[in-house]
Structure formats: structure tokens, C-alpha cells
Amino acid sequence: MKTTSTLMQQKQYPLIGLTTYAADAQGRYTLPHEYELAVTRAGGLAVLLPTVENLIPQILERLDGLVLTGGGDISPALYGGNAAHPELYGQSEVRDRYDLALIHAALPRQIPLLAICRGMQMLNIAYGGNLHVHLPEVFGETIAHRSHIPGPLQHPVTIRPKSRLSDIVGLDPMEIVSWHHQAIDRVGEGLQIAATAPDGLIEALEIPEHCWCIAVQWHPELVSKGYLRQETLWRDFMGAARKYHTTSSKMA
């Protein structure tokens, strides 16, 4: 008789790590449930990763894919920005340090990686890039990337040809939802722009030499259900994670 564990292995549910917010004042790690739902819909098993830096190698040994999730602002000290800007919020030195360490440990393993919003910004910083501290001061309000009231905003993005992202979702303009006031300024070395907003803002990055590493400034977890192209992005990521699972299992 086959056990539940055996059946799950046969179906190859890749184990996907989701970074969490740093512990709050009550000592709780949190993450919006939409991330888990997106992973589950795409055929993966989600596991939340607390910011325990000394266990990163052991964690990565067990994962088949990694999602760098959104959250509060990254400390400007990491990229030479204005640390006293009044619009900064939700900074966490612990999470910044953990996410950077996780990126530097994960990418050499060629583990599939999807970076979302803050995750994309952290990936860019890890590669030597920097950020705009507050977008309206640079791009104005032609395209609203963050609402003054809680909730995401919708706008189109243009997908660049000859990118991995275009291979996955196609070249037609795509409607996305965003919720951020910071974004990429100087692109880190080794990263390639894959999408832009109508105002020129960088909306997606990727690493051409990596097996699967795509970063998006928008929130595909918020629009994956009922949005075929966002769902396609998640499913392609899960396919890469499934392939990684099979390859790493053979090597074990």
C-alpha cells in the first residue's frame, strides 16, 4: 500500500520557500496568504521561512524553489540612499540581512527563484544596484504605483523581447497590480531588464545565465487567479522547481 508521502513524491510537489516579514512586536512571523495560495494553485507546497540566518544552508538543501516576497522598505544604508526620507516605512535590519544572505547562498545552487516587489529590489541590491527612495519625486504621478489608501493599483507593463519573461507570458502589454513607492534605479551587474511601465519604470529583471531567476516589481500573487498570464508565470516557475527537484534527487 502506498503511503501519502510516497504519492506526494510521485506527483512531484516541489517545496517552495517563502520569505516572511521579520518578527513583529509580539514575536510573530507573518505573510499575506495570497503567496501560499499562488504556490498551491501552481502545484507546489509552500513553506514559510523565518529569518534564521545561521540555518540558510540547511533550509536550501530541502527546497526546490524560492520566492522572495514583498514587504516594507529596504534600509537605504544598503544602497547609498537617503536614510532620513520621511516616506520610509517598515524597515527591518534583520530581514534585510537575512534576505541578502539567502540570495547569495541560493543563486550559486541554481535553485529557481521568483522575486516579488521588495524581493526584486533586494535582488538588485545584492548585485550592486540601487533604488529610487521615493518614486513620485523622480517619476511624478503620471502612473500611480502606490495608492494613498491601502490596496494595489492596476496599470500596464511592456514586456521586452528576447527575454525569458517574454517566452513565458508573451510580448503583448500586460495588466498588473502594484503597491510600492520605491523601485530600481541603477540595475545591478548581471541583471537584465525584462519589462517596463509606461513611465519608464523598471518592472521586471532576470538573470540570463541562471536556470530560472525572474524578478517582478508587481504582485503576481494578487492577480494569479483568473489572470492567465500571471498564472502562467507561476506555473513556469513551478515547472523549473519540479525539474530542480528531480535533478537534485538524482544527485543525492
User: CA end-to-end span of the chain, whole Å?
Assistant: 25
Q: Is 155 assigned a catalytic role?
A: no
Q: Is 219 assigned a catalytic role?
A: yes
DSSP 169: H
Catalytic residue among 203, 206, 221, 231: 221
Q: What are phi and psi of 153, to 5 degrees?
A: -120, 150
Q: Is 117 assigned a catalytic role?
A: yes
Dihedral sign (CA 211, 233, 176, 51): negative
Catalytic residue among 36, 117, 134, 231: 117
- What lies within 8 Å, CB to CB, of 18 at 6+ separation is 31, 35, 36, 39, 46, 47, 48, 49, 67, 69
Nine-digit cell string for 105 = 547562498
Q: What are phi and psi of 67, to 5 degrees?
A: -115, 120
Question: Are 64 and 110 spatial neighbours (Cβ–Cβ below 8 Å)?
Answer: no
Catalytic residue among 155, 180, 181, 219: 219
| C-alpha closest to that of 234 among 5, 50, 87, 18 | 18
> What is the C-alpha separation between 188 and 194, in angstroms, rounded?
13
The CA distances from residue 116 to 25, 57, 122, 210, in Å, are: 25, 22, 10, 17
Active site residues: 117, 219, 221
